[in-house]
């Protein structure tokens, strides 16, 4: 009996129970999870930017961090409003034309043996590709953009108040550790730190890499004479948030547009562009930005993306890898294991 009680009171069991309760609560929230994720992402990214600017400014003059935060959010909101006012109609038109162009290419492919062979594979009953179905799903996502925009706006406001009152929030929530169910809140604090150190930093890296990839891609596409650059830039940015698979997915519409505005040489140019940008991402951006080394094999990356998309939908493609890194961090799996010295073992 004592052994059972000791097990129920053990740190490992209480942490598992806390994590289980968190999963149940998040699952029961439904669409409110979008608000939670957006709020966390805005809070983490803006908080990191505030800390960087504060550290840089303090070298020359002492500035209140809250003033820096207020300026950051003011500039962010003004820039967002300006972009929406000036470029939203243009972006909407270009994305609509882009989708129509891709759909027209699918319905009326060029008279080419390779293209016909690919289309036959896609249209086969055993194929997992269903272009019309995928576009219907895309239109479904776009139809809910109004409610998504409201959630983003609320998330921005919530993240601002969280950062402005960060010290007060920490002092207030720390009191819960000393009341009833204190162990539960101690475990919450532990999970929160782990979540921020793993999930948050990986999300930050994904955003930095996606921004860099989209800027480089738009520059290359402009040189190649592609139309609808704003729409393509937005598409590449969001696909860039998906590790590994995003590059593969972006190849399909880019190659279709390249063939429709040029010939096979234009498609080859796009393939070379993707290869160059992927090489820059692998050998320059990842070592430069990646503060949390994932070093995941490609098989694990794709498997995690497939599973997370199945359970979490579109969000799973973006947050699947960060969640997997968080789980690895929670299990305290070492990132590097020293190999034993074979020669020493032989001597022994």
What pLDDT was estimated at residue 138?
57
Handedness of CA 197, 73, 169, 23 (dihedral sign): negative
Helices (H), 165-244: 166-174, 182-195, 201-224, 229-240
Query: Is 61:200 a contact under the CB 8 Å cutoff?
Result: no
**What does 16-70 look like in DSSP terms, one character per residue?**
HHHHHHHHHHHHHTTTHHHHHHHHHHHHHHHHHHHHHHHHHHTTTS---HHHHHH
Structure tokens at 199: 């999930």
Distance CA 51, CA 68 (A): 9
Distance CA 163, CA 65 (A): 10
Structure tokens at 126: 């055993």
What pLDDT was estimated at residue 292?
46
What pLDDT was estimated at residue 348?
46
Give the best-scoring range by mean pLDDT among 144-148, 274-278, 279-283, 289-293: 274-278
Residue 347: phi, psi to the nearest 5? Answer: -65, -40
102-106, 114-118, 126-130: range with lowest mean pLDDT: 126-130
CA angle 148, 199, 207 (to 5 degrees): 60
Task: Give the max Cα distance, the chain.
Answer: 78
Mean pLDDT of 153-182: 88
pLDDT in tens, 308-345: 777 777 677 677 777 887 777 777 676 555 554 544 45
Neighbours of 155 (CB within 10 A): 20
Handedness of CA 39, 200, 306, 22 (dihedral sign): negative
What pLDDT was estimated at residue 158?
92
What pLDDT was estimated at residue 111?
64
Instruction: Reply yes or no on whether the pLDDT at 217 is more than 50.
Output: yes
Instruction: Reply yes or no on whether the pLDDT at 134 is more than 60.
Output: no
18-22, 56-60, 133-137, 223-227: range with lowest mean pLDDT: 133-137
Give the best-scoring range by mean pLDDT among 124-128, 259-263, 275-279: 275-279
pTM of the model: 0.67
Instruction: Reply yes or no on whether the pLDDT at 128 is more than 50.
Output: no
pLDDT band at 159 (very low <50, low <70, confident <90, very high): very high
User: What percent of the chain is predicted at pLDDT more than 70?
Assistant: 71
The H or E element containing residue 148 is: helix 145-164
């Amino acid at each position: 009996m004592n052994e059972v009680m000791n097990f129920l009171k053990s740190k490992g069991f209480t942490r598992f129970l806390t994590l289980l309760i968190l999963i149940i609560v998040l699952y029961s929230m439904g669409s409110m999870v979008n608000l939670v994720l957006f709020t966390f992402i805005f809070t983490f990214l803006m908080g990191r930017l505030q800390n960087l600017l504060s550290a840089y400014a303090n070298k020359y003059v002492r500035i209140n961090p809250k003033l820096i935060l207020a300026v950051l959010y003011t500039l962010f909101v003004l820039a967002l409003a300006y972009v929406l006012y000036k470029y939203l109609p243009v972006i909407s038109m270009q994305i609509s034309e882009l989708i129509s162009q891709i759909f027209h290419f699918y319905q009326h492919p060029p008279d080419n043996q390779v293209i016909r062979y690919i289309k036959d594979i896609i249209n086969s009953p055993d194929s997992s590709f269903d272009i019309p179905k995928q576009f219907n799903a895309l239109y479904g996502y776009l139809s809910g953009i109004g409610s998504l925009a409201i959630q983003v706006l609320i998330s921005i406001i919530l993240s601002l108040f969280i950062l402005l009152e960060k010290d007060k929030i920490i002092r207030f929530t720390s009191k819960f550790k000393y009341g009833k169910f204190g162990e539960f809140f101690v475990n919450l604090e532990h999970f929160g730190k782990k979540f921020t150190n793993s999930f948050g930093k990986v999300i930050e890296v994904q955003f930095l890499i996606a921004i860099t990839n989209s800027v480089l891609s738009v520059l290359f596409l402009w040189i190649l004479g592609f139309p609808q650059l704003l729409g393509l830039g937005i598409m590449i940015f969001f696909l860039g948030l998906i590790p590994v698979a995003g590059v593969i997915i972006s190849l399909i519409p880019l190659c279709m547009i390249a063939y429709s505005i040029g010939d096979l040489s234009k498609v080859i140019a796009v393939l070379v562009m993707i290869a160059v940008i992927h090489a820059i991402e692998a050998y320059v951006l990842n070592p430069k930005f990646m503060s949390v080394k994932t070093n995941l094999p490609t098989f694990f990356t794709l498997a995690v993306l497939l599973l997370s998309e199945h359970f979490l939908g579109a969000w799973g493609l973006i947050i699947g890898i960060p969640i997997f890194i968080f789980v690895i961090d929670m299990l305290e799996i070492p990132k590097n294991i020293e190999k034993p010295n074979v020669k020493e073992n032989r001597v022994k």
